[in-house]
Structure 1
Amino acid sequence: MHATLRDYPAAEFAPPHGALLVVTRDGEAVAGGAFQRYDAETAELKRIWTAREHRRQGLGLFVLKQLEAEVGRRGYRRIYLTTGPRQPEAVGLYLAAGYTALYDPAVPAEQIGPHPFEKYLPVDELGATA
C-alpha cells in the first residue's frame, strides 16, 4: 500500500500543511500514512496502511495516533478521512479511535461506497489543539 503514496505529488504532504509517516522495522517499511490540508481547519488522512505480515500488532493505531498528534501541532481542529467499503478492519479502527461515521452504518457497505469519517481534536483552554 505504501507504493500508492508515490502516486501523490510530494507537495501534497509537505509542511506546513501535510506530513508523511513511514514506520520501519529492520529497514523495511511496515506501516504508514499521511495527511494533507482539506480546508483551513481540517486535515485529511490519506493511505493509512500496515503491511499484511505485520497486522494485528497495533501499528495501525500507532500510525493513527502519531498523525493525529502532528495534525494537532499543525493547528488543525478536525480530521477527515474516507475508507473503502471492503475495509471492515479500517472501519473498526476508526470507530475505536473515536471517529464519527458520516454515513448510515445500517446501509450495506457496497451501497455506501467510500466511508467518510471525522474527528474533532480536543481544544485546551487557550484555544490550542491538545
Structure 2
Amino acid sequence: MTSVAQPPPSPTELTITQVAVSDPRVAPLLRELGDEYSARYGRDAHAELARYPDEEFTAPYGGVLLLLLERGEPVAGGAFRRYDETTAELKRIWTHSAHRRRGLARRVVAELEREAGTHGYRRIYLTTGPRQPEARGLYLTAGYTPLFETEADPETIGPLPFEKHLTAEAPARKAADL
C-alpha cells in the first residue's frame, strides 16, 4: 500500500513557540526521538538525549522551539545550545512520525537558525548519526557544509558533523518568510 504525502499545513495553522525542556509538550518529542534512535542504532538512546542539562537549552545561551498546530499539538521541534562563543549547536531536531515529509523539519531548522542569530551566534554546528539519511539530506539541502568526506561510508565515520555560517540577513528572517 502506497502512502500519499499530505500537503504541509498552511502557515496560519502553525505556531512556533519557545519553551523550556520541562514543558509537557516537549515530552513526546524526546520520547519518540529516543525510541527512533534506539531502533536505528540497536541501543537505548534515551540516556543520550538526557546527556545535556536542561539549563544548556535556556536563555541566554540556548532555546527549545516547538512547531505547533492550531490546537496546540506539537508536530516538530528542536533545540540549540552554546557550542562556543560564536557557535550554536543544533540538537534534537524532530518531526512527529505522522507529520513527516511535509517540510516541517526544514522550517524548524530555519527558525532555530534565526533564533540562534538573535542570541549573537554567527555559526551553527550540528551532528547527525550515520543511520539518519533523511537528516543528512535535510542539512545538505538547507545549506550546511559537511565536515566529513561525503563519499565515505557513513558507518565508518560515526557522527556526521555539519556547519553553516549565518549571514547578516539570516537572523532577520521572520517565521512568516519561511
- Pick the aligned partner of 1:12 from 45, 56, 60: 56
Aligned twin of 1:73: 118
Q: Select the structure of larger CA radius of gyration.
A: 2
Deviations 1:95-118 (A, max 9, x none): 111000000011101101100000
Where does the alignment leave 5 or more consecutive residues of structure 2 unmatched?
1-27, 35-45, 173-178
- Pick the aligned partner of 1:83 from 102, 105, 128: 128
Where does the alignment leave 5 or more consecutive residues of structure 1 unmatched?
none
Local SS of the residue matching 1:81: strand
Aligned twin of 1:2: 29
Deviations 1:6-61 (A, max 9, x none): 72422011101101011222332211000000000000000101011100111001
Aligned twin of 1:46: 91
Q: Does 78-87 or 1-10 show the bigger shift?
A: 1-10
**Cα distance in structure 2, aligned partners of 1:72 and 1:119:** 12
Q: What letter matches 2:95 in structure 1? A: T
Structure 1 residue 123: deviation in Å? Answer: 2.9
Q: TM-score, normalised by structure 2?
A: 0.66
Local SS of the residue matching 1:2: helix
* Matched positions, count: 127
Aligned positions of 1:1-130 closer than 5 A: 2-3=29-30, 7=50, 8-25=52-69, 26-123=71-168
Local SS of the residue matching 1:65: helix
**Cα distance in structure 1, aligned partners of 2:128 and 2:54:** 21
Local SS of the residue matching 1:57: coil
Higher normalized strand content (fraction of residues): 1
**Cα distance in structure 1, aligned partners of 2:140 and 2:130:** 14
- C-alpha RMSD of the superposition: 2.0
**Cα distance in structure 2, aligned partners of 1:37 and 1:9:** 12
Q: What letter matches 2:118 in structure 1? A: R
| Percent identity of paired positions between Structure 1 and Structure 2 | 57
Local SS of the residue matching 1:24: strand
**Cα distance in structure 2, aligned partners of 1:84 and 1:64:** 17
Q: TM-score, normalised by structure 1?
A: 0.90
